Structure 1
Amino acid sequence: MRTPTIPPLLQTLLLLLSILPHLTSAQFGFFEQMFGGNGGGAQHHQQHQHRQPQNVPSDPSFYQANYDRLHCDNYLCPDTLACVHFPHHCPCPWPSQEDKFEMGDGHRICVSKGGFKAGEAARKVELARKGML
């Protein structure tokens, strides 16, 4: 009985397919270690390979741990963790998509730029300040 031969192109393809999971595991292993993954290696990768991405848990411990480890002599902005002199100096979390407005009470608000004409967000904030909106 004659042994079938595998064409060289198919051999190369099979080799690449066999090492691909190991390459992706090595690539993402760094991120698992950085962000608290359990680093289970290939076994961990195989267990989660077919799962859909999961929503972030409703556990504030990640935020609290970062907030608690930061040092700020003035005011630590709760949403951006920026250290500023006054609350109204806090930056917006998404400055490329939000306009910042300082309020009279010493705070700031961030308003989405999306869908507004230039200056439209400022006009609406001013109308709201006057109680007209």
Structure 2
Amino acid sequence: MYLSLLPLLTLPLLASAQFGNFFEGMFGGGQQQQQQQQRGQNVASDSQWYQNTYDGASCSNYLCPGTLACVDKPTHCPCAWPDVEEKFELDPDGMAICVSKSGAEGMTKLKVELARKGLL
């Protein structure tokens, strides 16, 4: 008689073990594990990753500090976000900046020129 009750007594334990992970995931118990996994994929908040990548880059000419592109000279460095930035050369010595595009065609260039003259 006691042997026939054994399966009935172990059934709730088996169900709990079987569906425990399901219910944790369904009702937020697995969030902590997901957050820990995501934290492992994030880039460090210090500059060490960038320094290591920069130091490990191979370039025989000029390595652009903003994009790590290897180019002939600094003015050839691309903007990091060309869809939303425009590049402007500030002087013949090779100084260039990338500025967020703003409004109508030519408006960004006008703003850069006004800023260079101290009017903006």
TM-score normalised according to structure 1 size: 0.57
Asked if structure 1 preserves the Cα contact closer than 8 Å seen for 2:86 and 2:100, the reply is: yes
Instruction: Please provide the CA RMSD for this pair.
Output: 3.2
Unaligned segments of structure 1, at least 5 residues: 4-13, 22-44
* Structure 2, unaligned runs of 5 or more: 1-7, 9-17
Q: For each residue in 1:68-113, what CA deviation from the matched residue of structure 2 results, as whole angstroms up to 9, or x when unmatched? A: 1111111100010001111111100000010111111411111101
> Which ranges of 4 or more aligned residues in structure 1 deviate by more than 4 Å?
53-56
CA drift of 1:131 comes to 2.7
Q: Which of 83, 106, 109 is residue 96 of structure 1 equivalent to?
A: 83
- Residue equivalent to 2:56: 69
- Give the Cα–Cα distance (whole angstroms) in 2 for the partners of residues 50 and 102 of structure 1: 44
- Alpha-carbon distance in structure 2 between the residues aligned to 1:112 and 1:71: 29
Counterpart mapping for 1:1-133 below 5 A: 48-49=33-34, 56-104=43-91, 105-113=93-101, 115-133=102-120
Q: Which has the larger radius of gyration?
A: 2
Alpha-carbon contact 2:61-2:71 (below 8 Å) kept:
yes
The answer as to whether partners of 1:88 and 1:103 remain within 8 angstroms in 2 is: no
TM-score in terms of structure 2 length: 0.63
Higher mean displacement: 121-130 or 89-98? 121-130
CA distance in 1, matches of 2:78, 2:87: 7
> Which structure has greater helix proportion?
2
